[in-house]
A and B are shown apart, each in its own frame.
Chain A
Amino acid sequence: MKCAEMIESETPKVSAVAQANNEVRLPMGILGFEQIKDYVLLVNPEEEPFAWLQVKANASLAFVVVDPFLVMPNYQPDIPEADVEFLGLRNTSDALLLNIVTIHGPHRATINLKGPIVINRHTHIGKQIIIANAVDYSVQHPLPVAGSIE
């Protein structure tokens, strides 16, 4: 499926109705939001590599996420065995990683590299995990935003 089919071009992107196959279930929620388990992954091609992980029950709440390997080619998250088992991952290619981005302003954004959301591409079940090598990474690693003075 093409992304363009998921999102009507003239309507606000995040309020677009997503296809069922872009739904993601996080049985343990996101740390701090344990009670919110159902999300929809929305992508607007103009905003890539960012995407929206929107709360399914509340279209006005969303996390901005990004595939970390697109912005941090050297990222090497070590996923604990218990999480691999929980998610039913057999190969690294089964895993989709989305890391939460904090938008601090038009010229500053950071990515959480300690706690990626790992999703099984086949089951669409995911979990925000704490990587075993969290000590090597920051929860607010600056992204190279255009126009940034950093």
Chain B
Amino acid sequence: MLILSRKSGESIVIDGRIHVKIVRVEGDVVKVGIGAPVDVPVHRQEVYDEIQRSNRQALTRPRKLSGLPKLAGGTTKAHPLAGRATNTAKKVVLPGK
């Protein structure tokens, strides 16, 4: 692994299109700014690992599953891509909306 020393305000450029800037250093916390094209996903390692682990656990072989559990209490029926769209995503927060 390449190890570089950087001061606050200095940057690193990767592949001419990914910019990593050390924004601020406070004690043992380093604030890092990352500029990358939209097709380059950037994630905190621990959250990424957690989701990846959960996905692996969630993948099922449907034929071996006797059935899905029933949820307690009622839920509204809705089916999204099949024409009964209900715009349930009202609470999604989009930037600048």
Residues of A within 8 A of B (CB): 1-3, 6, 12-15, 21-22, 24, 28, 30-33, 41, 43, 45, 47-52, 54, 60-64, 67, 69-71, 74-82, 84-86, 89, 91-93, 95-98, 100-103, 106-109, 112, 114-115, 118-119, 121, 124, 128, 130, 133-134, 139-140, 143-148
Contact = CB atoms under 8 A, between A and B. Distances in A.
B62 A112 contact: no
Interface in B28-79: 38-39, 41, 43-44, 47-48, 50-63, 65-73, 75-79
B75 A146 contact: no
A1 B58 contact: no
B97 interface: yes
Interface of B: 38-39, 41, 43-44, 47-48, 50-63, 65-73, 75-85, 87-97
B69 A140 contact: no
B54 A140 contact: yes
B68 A103 contact: yes
Contact of B80 (A71, A75, A96, A115): A96
Nearest to A78: B93
Given A43-B79, A69-B91, A71-B75, 7 more contacts: A21-B81, A24-B81, A64-B68, A79-B92, A86-B39, A92-B91, A100-B54
Which secondary structure dominates where chain A touches chain B?
Answer: mixed
B83 A70 contact: no
Contacts of A130: 43-44, 47-48, 51
Contacts of A54: 62
A111 B87 CA distance: 20
Contacts of A31: 48, 51-52, 55
Nearest to B92: A92
Q: Which of A115, A118, A124 has the most CB of B within 10 A?
A: A115
B72 A60 contact: no
A84 B94 CA distance: 7
B79 A48 contact: yes
